[in-house]
Amino acid sequence: MTDRSTASTPAKRRVGIMGGTFDPIHHGHLVAASEVAKSFDLDEVVFVPTGNPYMKRNVSPSEDRYLMTVIATASNPRFTVSRVDIDRDGPTYTVDTLRDVMRLRPDSELFFITGADAIAQILEWKDSDDMFEYAHFVAVSRPGHELVLDDSLPRESVSVLEVPALAISSTDCRDRARRGYPVWYLVPDGVVQYIAKHRLYTDSDHDEERASAPEGSAVFSSDRAHEVAT
Ligand SMILES: Nc1ncnc2c1ncn2[C@@H]1O[C@H](COP(=O)(O)OP(=O)(O)OP(=O)(O)O)[C@@H](O)[C@H]1O
Ligand SMILES: O=C(O)c1ccc[n+]([C@@H]2O[C@H](COP(=O)([O-])O)[C@@H](O)[C@H]2O)c1
């Protein structure tokens, strides 16, 4: 590994941020984070489950998504999980995620990881100009999505990276679980078991809980967190 420090300036920690709704987290997310960590010489990748992903509907409780993310990342010493987005009220905006991570990890250089689908919409995100001041963005390839950068993006703040193609989406995992098809090998084993144990995508009570939540909001279940933690 190259020495990133000099006599006068100690090296900043290089911290990746993998933001996502992770409903559920799958191997496409994990491979993307692992590849960016290798290519950008990252010391840590922080997975940040969204609190209220205002662009998505019928999202599972944030505590379930958080716990699945903890389970999925537990075996990698460089992977950590942050609650900053799920503990903040209101819609989840990446500009807030970056500010919170900067506050908690001062003297770090941040790299925000996005898939090809997300980078295509990034100019519509809140305060996108500020985001590019706070972090370097790494757009990874994703099957079914062309990896092209809009001419208006600040090129010095955005890189692209080809990663092994895994045609997996959370939408497909949820559909499979609902229809009784296996999600083994699409998501980590512990996540398969968590989905089954908590009947995440099959339970009709759960569907009612989602349906009664305000539009676009995540619903919260502290009972599930307690069950798993004990
Ligand atoms: N298979 C994949 N390969 C590369 N990047 C991915 C892949 N799946 C998701 N990503 C990226 O990971 C981030 C978080 O994705 P998200 O949690 O929304 O998963 P998703 O599979 O896209 O979910 P959904 O199907 O519910 O929209 C986004 O930047 C997305 O582009
Ligand atoms: O900041 C925004 O306006 C914004 C709009 C849409 C998505 N994002 C972020 O993009 C990441 C992936 O989101 P999602 O909904 O595709 O899972 C996650 O970290 C979101 O907070 C951010």
Tokens 């250089």, located at residue:
109
- C-alpha–C-alpha distance, residues 19 and 162, integer Å: 18
Phi/psi of residue 139, nearest 5 degrees = -95, 120
Query: Which of 25, 88, 92 for mutating ligand 2's site (highest number of atoms within 8 Å of CB)?
Result: 92
- C-alpha–C-alpha distance, residues 167 and 149, integer Å: 21
- C-alpha–C-alpha distance, residues 28 and 114, integer Å: 11
| Ligand 1 in reach of 53 Cβ (< 6 A) | no
Q: Which atom of ligand 2 is nearest to the CA of 85?
A: 21
| Ligand 1 in reach of 174 Cβ (< 6 A) | no
Q: For residue 225, is it within any domain? A: no
- C-alpha–C-alpha distance, residues 9 and 102, integer Å: 19
The protein residue with its alpha carbon nearest to ligand 1, atom 7, reads 28
Q: What is the pLDDT of residue 8?
A: 72
Q: For residue 24, is it within any domain? A: yes
Average pLDDT, the chain: 88
For the stretch 169-205, pLDDT in tens is: 999 999 999 999 999 999 999 999 999 999 999 975 4
- C-alpha–C-alpha distance, residues 180 and 202, integer Å: 8
Q: For residue 199, is it within any domain? A: yes
| Ligand 1 in reach of 140 Cβ (< 6 A) | yes
| Ligand 2 in reach of 56 Cβ (< 6 A) | yes
Instruction: Report the domain count for the chain.
Output: 1
Q: For residue 4, is it within any domain? A: no
User: If you measure from the C-alpha of residue 159 to the centroid of ligand 2, how many angstroms do you get, rounded to a whole number?
Assistant: 18
For the stretch 120-173, pLDDT in tens is: 999 999 999 999 999 999 999 999 999 999 999 999 999 999 999 999 999 999
Q: Which atom of ligand 1 is nearest to the CA of 27?
A: 1
- C-alpha–C-alpha distance, residues 37 and 43, integer Å: 7
Q: For residue 1, is it within any domain? A: no
Task: Work out the end-to-end distance of the chain between its first and last CA atoms, rounded to an integer number of angstroms.
Answer: 41
Say yes or no to pLDDT of 5 above 90.
no
Q: For residue 221, is it within any domain? A: no
Say yes or no to pLDDT of 117 above 90.
yes
For the stretch 54-93, pLDDT in tens is: 999 999 999 999 999 999 999 999 999 999 999 999 999 9
Q: Which tokens in the block code for residue 62?
A: 């944030």
Nearest to 118 by CA among 91, 88, 141: 141
The enclosing domain of 140 has a CATH number of 3.40.50.620
Q: What is the pLDDT of residue 228?
A: 29
| Ligand 1 in reach of 33 Cβ (< 6 A) | no
| Ligand 1 in reach of 117 Cβ (< 6 A) | yes
Q: For residue 216, is it within any domain? A: no
Q: For residue 220, is it within any domain? A: no
Give the residue numbers spanning the domain of 184.
Answer: 13-210
Please tell me the number of the ligand nearest to residue 27's CA: 1
ipTM reported for the complex surpasses 0.95:
yes
- C-alpha–C-alpha distance, residues 155 and 135, integer Å: 13
Beta-carbon contacts of residue 6 (< 8 Å; ≥ 6 apart): none
